[in-house]
Amino acid sequence: DHGTGHGHDHAATPRIAWLLFLPALSLLWYAPPALGAYTAARAGDKPVAVQKRGFAPLPATSPVPLTLTDFTRRVQLDRSRAVQGRTVRLTGFVTPAGDGDGWYLTRIIFSCCAADSQTVKVRMYGTQAPPADTWLAVTGTWHPHGSLGTRRAEPALDVRTATPVAQPVNAFTDDLPLTPS
Say if residues 58 and 83 touch (Cβ distance below 8 Å).
yes
The reported pLDDT for the residue numbered 4 is 59
The CATH architecture that domain 37-164 belongs to is Beta Barrel (2.40)
Mean pLDDT computed over 85-112: 89
pLDDT for 101-158, tens place per residue?
A: 789 999 988 877 666 778 999 999 999 999 999 999 999 999 999 999 999 999 999 9
| Mean per-residue pLDDT over the chain, rounded | 81
Domain boundary assignment for the chain: 37-164
Higher-pLDDT residue of 54, 135: 135
pLDDT category at 89 given cuts 50, 70, 90 is very high
